[in-house]
Amino acid sequence: MSGKRGSDYISGLKMGIPIGIGYLAVSFSLGITAKNAGLTGFQAALTSLLLNASAGEYAAFALIAANAGYFETALMELIANARYFLMSCALSQKLSDKAGLLHRMIIGVAVTDEMFGVSMSRLDKISPFFYFGMMSLSMPCWSLGTYLGVVVGNVLPENVVSALSVGLYGMFLASIIPPARKNKIILAIVAVSMLMSLVCSLLPLLSQLSEGVRTIILTVVIAGAAAILFPVKEEEDGA
Amino acid sequence: MEHNIYIYILVTFIVTYLIRTLPLTLIRKPIKSRFIRSFLFYVPYVTLAVMTFPAIVNATDSMWSGIAALLIGILVAWFNGNLFIVASSACLTVFILELFL
């Protein structure tokens, strides 16, 4: 591993620490769901290692518990995880030219909300080795937390679980608020997005849609409108 | 019909992997269209904002600690963007508030 690759990997590892801690907490509660669905610790840990998706895994465990058909499971998984399609489109433009096919196929295992957020908040294009650094800490944490959730269940006190559950949202805020402070358009978009998300969660018909579907609809509508109203200049999109 | 858990895991893995890997591998060159580039530039901010609120309010035992965590999180992120510090302040806010609520 050359020096540049090594230092990219190390800075990825460092970003992986807070993500991994957050993942341990969230995947722990996911493990409790997996246990209730009848999975063993190994099966739940394997699911987490392969899927790296909170909502997608909740959906999967619920379908397993309901003994759903395989086709129905595939369809639900497509809906629950479709937002990663948009994230991967954006991430494809953020990866440096050094990222080859194999690199991209490895990154594809773990395009998650948090690692996506961290990648997009970097000023420059990112090296695949930076992403591998994040993956090598956060993925084992995600899998281990799920395993622990199954085997040791409800040992954490309720108030600790409650406190840890906002950690991931804190990471989202750390990804979007600093750019919003510097750019008034982004600030307005963040505010409008939160407002419309609240409205959609309260409206009778829209609130029945799953959170994944609502996220996709709002992303397409708001980011689409913003792209028409405020097209980015050559230098500010980092492409 | 009894289903096999490993087939469930395989099916969900294949679907999830393709959703992420197809755009990553097929879109290799910089996109030329100014609209699509602008759209993709705004995607992360919209997606992460939509996923944060109002979900953060429902994530905690008490709605008020969730609202407090959101406000403290925004405030800390505004003045210090560090990922770990923002996440810890949100967690601590909930933990301390729920000792009293």
Q: Which amino acid is at A238?
A: G
* Residue A129 belongs to some domain of the structure: yes
By residue range, what is the domain housing residue B81? 5-100
Given A131, A165, A199, which residue is the final one in a domain? A165
- A30 with A75, same domain: the answer is yes
Instruction: Give the start-end residues of each E strand in chain B.
Output: none
- A161 with A187, same domain: the answer is no
Number of structural domains chain B divides into: 1
Q: What is the pLDDT of residue B6?
A: 95
Nearest CA in chain A to B19: A85
Number of structural domains chain A divides into: 2
Q: What is the pLDDT of residue A234?
A: 63
The answer to whether the CB atoms of A78 and B19 lie below 8 A apart is: yes
Do residues A60 and A77 lie in contact, with contact meaning Cβ atoms separated by under 8 Å? yes
* Residue A170 belongs to some domain of the structure: no
Hey, CA dihedral for A219, A224, A226, A230, is it positive or negative? positive
- A32 with A120, same domain: the answer is yes
For chain B, what percent of residues have pLDDT higher than 70?
A: 99
Given A139, A165, A191, which residue is the final one in a domain? A165
Residues 122-181 of A with CB under 8 A from B: 158-160, 162-181
- A201 with A153, same domain: the answer is no
By residue range, what is the domain housing residue A209? 183-239
What's the predicted TM-score (pTM) here?
Answer: 0.76
**B70-95: per-residue pLDDT in tens?**
999 999 999 987 777 888 899 899 99
Q: What is the pLDDT of residue A238?
A: 44
Q: What stretches in chain A show pLDDT beneath 50?
A: 237-239
Buried b (16+ CB within 10 A) or exposed e, A147-176: bbbbeeeeebeebebbbbbbbbbbbbbbbb
Residues of B in contact with A158 (CB under 8 A): 61
User: CA of B86: how far to CAs of A184, B22, B95, in Å?
Assistant: 21, 33, 14
Mutate to test the interface with B, among A169, A192, A197 (most CBs of B within 10 A): A169
Q: What is the pLDDT of residue A1?
A: 52
- A144 with A67, same domain: the answer is yes
| Matching residue, tokens 């755009």 | B23
Q: What is the pLDDT of residue A78?
A: 86
Q: What is the pLDDT of residue A180?
A: 94
Backbone angles phi, psi at A157, to 5 degrees: -60, 150
